[in-house]
Amino acid sequence: MAKGAAELDDLIHQRVRLGIMSALAVSESLTFNDLKDLLEITDGNLSVHARKLEEAGYVDCIKSFEGRVPRTEYRLTDTGRRALEEYLNRMEGLIRTTRGS
Amino acid sequence: MAKGAAELDDLIHQRVRLGIMSALAVSESLTFNDLKDLLEITDGNLSVHARKLEEAGYVDCIKSFEGRVPRTEYRLTDTGRRALEEYLNRMEGLIRTTRGS
């Protein structure tokens, strides 16, 4: 029952990372600055959490240049989309159980 | 949009604390050992997180004796129940938005 919480993917559950994953689920790709503005977090905070998601294979990070300005773009990988889907399913289950009172 | 994640009550969002709150939502009260068995966590881990919830006024901790054996019981306060309800509502909103893709 309450064990449901322990089964939530901790890589996604952390609030900043959940925000990143959720944002990328509804946009094909977002730049570093898009995400920073959307989540209202610092560069450092976003970097750390985006890197964790990248290392898990949940997001791809594409670096390029617009003229001379470096541009970092993120998108959800298929693995990330599946992991997010599973996370949402488990969270829905937990909500249902908790509301069942 | 993705800001939804930032609006989740961090006191409840942490996985162990979410497990505690969720378990207490469906039981009038649970002992320390009930919670420990249910969540499959160590004494130390449960103590730390239960205390945080107590300090926030989300759970009440009632200490008593059964014969000579100390007994610690937890229950959700009204404040805790309202905070959990709000957390679940926000999480449902975030799930809806994320699935809206």
- pLDDT tens digit sequence for A5-19: 888 999 999 999 999
Q: Examine residue A46 and state whether it is found in any structural domain, yes or no.
A: yes
Q: Examine residue A97 and state whether it is found in any structural domain, yes or no.
A: no
| C-alpha closest to that of A79 among A55, A101, A47 | A55
What would the pLDDT profile of A32-50 be if each residue is shown by its tens digit?
A: 999 999 999 999 999 999 9
Q: What is the mean pLDDT of residues B50-78?
A: 96
- Which candidate in B13, B14, B18 is best for mutational testing of the A interface (most A CBs within 10 A)? B18
Q: Which helix (H) or strand (E) holds A71?
A: strand A69-76
| Beta-sheet pairing, A30-31 with A69-76 | antiparallel
Report the distance separating Cα B101 and Cα B27, nearest Å: 36
What residue numbers bound the domain in which A85 lies? 2-90
Q: What is the mean pLDDT of residues B46-72?
A: 95
Between chains, do B1 and A38 touch, taking CB under 8 Å as contact? yes
Between chains, do B92 and A95 touch, taking CB under 8 Å as contact? yes
Between chains, do B15 and A19 touch, taking CB under 8 Å as contact? no
Q: Examine residue A100 and state whether it is found in any structural domain, yes or no.
A: no
Q: Examine residue A66 and state whether it is found in any structural domain, yes or no.
A: yes
Q: What is the ipTM of this complex?
A: 0.89
Whole-prediction pTM value? Answer: 0.91
**Residue A11 maps to which CATH number?**
1.10.10.10
Rounded to 5 degrees, φ, ψ at B4 are -45, -40
Residues whose CB falls within 8 Å of the CB of residue A19, separated by 6 or more in sequence, listed in order: A38, A39, B2, B3, B4, B5, B6
In Å, how far is A56's CA from the nearest CA of chain B? Answer: 19
Per-residue confidence (pLDDT) for residue A1, from 0 to 100: 42
Q: Examine residue A30 and state whether it is found in any structural domain, yes or no.
A: yes
Q: What is the mean pLDDT of residues B24-47?
A: 95
In Å, how far is A95's CA from the nearest CA of chain B? Answer: 6
How many domains is chain A partitioned into structurally?
Answer: 1
